[in-house]
Structure formats: structure tokens, C-alpha cells
Amino acid sequence: MLKDIFIPIHRAGWPFIGGAVAGAVVLSLLWEPLLWLGLLAAAFCTYFFRDPERITPVRAGLVVSPADGLVSAVEPAAPPPELGMGAAALPRISIFLNVFDVHINRVPADGTVTSLAYRKGTFVNASLDKASEENERQSVRMTMPDGRDIAFVQIAGLIARRIVCDLVEGQAVRAGERFGLIRFGSRADVYLPVGTSPLVVPGQRMIGGETVIADLQSSEGPRGGEAR
């Protein structure tokens, strides 16, 4: 129960929390009621940078969500050209994160990072389809133990202004491991091997590092979804 109440805070959040608290003190010197405005900002930063533990399903072939949020689209699309994966369309799952979602990003599968590419861009609403092509992004190409490649992309949103990716080329990673974050509000795309049928549908809520979005060993066809 205590783990559910006292959730760890990501190290990237402490400067923001400290700055908000310091700002609250300064504001209170100008006008005492402004103290509460500063403390409210500190509370929001604490909530935004929360970093809960996750239980990752472990089995060859499973691909888990790299982020918390809602699936905004499941459709074929060409991966970012800077990754050198070709122009052919691959199954793509797009996940939209609002400012209230956990923003810690997690590796979707076991493998080795083979390519990293950062591209500057715009900051349109991350829930829009054009965000994948036009917005600022950090792309990662990864080779899995079976030799197939997947890609996952951190995409800045309307108010996001900082993408953090801690991965390096040649790094061996495991599904569910933390690899970065995006501030504040964003999108994450995952490009799966050709022929893969995603196991999620638009509107479905994802839990980063836990929700299985694809099973590369399964022959199951595409799923449908209904609001109930």
C-alpha cells in the first residue's frame, strides 16, 4: 500500500520541483496568497515526474507499450527515414500522452540499439496524425534477438519542449527498462515488423512497460474494439 502512495520521482523532476518551491517562497514575499500558487506548481511537477514500478511480461516475441496513454492510431506507415529502415509501410501503433499521464518511457522489447536519430521539427498537437512526420522527435532502431528490427519514437507535443533519451548505439536493453521521458504532453510511436498484427485498438489505455501491444510469435489477426 505504501508503494502506491509514495511513488518515486524521476531524477529529472527534482530541479522543477525545487524551482517551484523556491518560486513559492519568493512569491510569498511579494504577496502571501501567491505562496499557494507556487506550491500548486510544485505539486503538479511532483505528480508529473512520478516514476512508478512496473511489472513487465517476459517472453520471447512480446512487445510492450513504451508509454502510458491512449492509443490514438493503429495503421501502416513508413518508419522515420533517418533510421534507414526503408520506405515500405510497417504496422505502427501511436500512443498519445496527456499532461496527467506518467511520462517515463520504457523499452518495448529485448534487443540491441542499432541506430539513434534526433530531428528538429514543429510542436503541433501530438494527437494529430501529422505529428509523427512534422514534430520534433527522437527515433530509435533496435534489433531483437531473432534478427528482426523494430523502431520506437519519442515525439514532442503541443507544449512539450524537451525530449530525453538515455540510450546509446550498441546498448543491449530489456523490455520494460526505462530509457527516457518527454516534457510535458507528447506521443510515442512503435513500428513493428511487417506482417505483425497489433493486439491493441484506438482508444485503448496503455500502461508503459506492462501492456502487451504485439506478440511476434502469434498468428492472431487484427483485433477490433468497442466502448462498453
Asked if omega into 184 is within 30° of 0 (cis), the reply is yes
Query: What does the pLDDT look like over 1-31, one tens digit per residue?
Result: 656 667 888 888 788 889 888 988 888 888 8
Residue 173 confidence (pLDDT): 97
Residue 214 confidence (pLDDT): 96
Establish whether 197 is a catalytic residue. Answer: no
Q: Is 81 helix (H, G, I), strand (E, B) or coil?
A: helix
Q: Quote the cell numbers at residue 113.
A: 540499439
Domain boundaries, the chain: 2-48, 62-215
Q: How far apart are CA 97 and CA 103, in angstroms?
A: 7
Assigned CATH for 62-215: 2.70.70
Q: How far apart are CA 84 and CA 169, in angstroms?
A: 14
Kindly give, in sequence order, each residue whose CB lies less than 8 Å from that of residue 11, ignoring residues fewer than 6 positions away: none
Q: Quote the cell numbers at residue 41.
A: 506548481
pLDDT (tens digit, 0 to 9) for every residue of the chain, 228 residues total?
656 667 888 888 788 889 888 988 888 888 888 888 888 988 888 888 899 999 999 999 999 999 999 999 999 999 999 999 999 999 999 999 988 899 899 999 999 999 999 998 776 666 666 667 778 899 999 999 999 999 999 998 776 567 889 999 999 999 999 999 987 768 999 999 999 999 999 999 999 999 999 999 988 888 888 888
With contact defined as beta carbons under 8 Å apart, do 151 and 83 qualify? yes
Residue 228 confidence (pLDDT): 84
Residue 202 confidence (pLDDT): 95
Q: Looking up cell 500548486, which residue turns up?
A: 40
Q: Quote the cell numbers at residue 24.
A: 513559492
Q: How far apart are CA 217 and CA 204, in angstroms?
A: 22
Residue 124 confidence (pLDDT): 64
Residue 225 confidence (pLDDT): 85
Q: Choose, from 72, 94, 139, 186, the residue flagged as catalytic.
A: 186
Taking the CB of residue 59, how many other CB atoms lie within 10 A of it?
A: 10
Where does residue 156 rank: exposed (0-12), middle (13-18), buried (19+ CB within 10 A)? buried
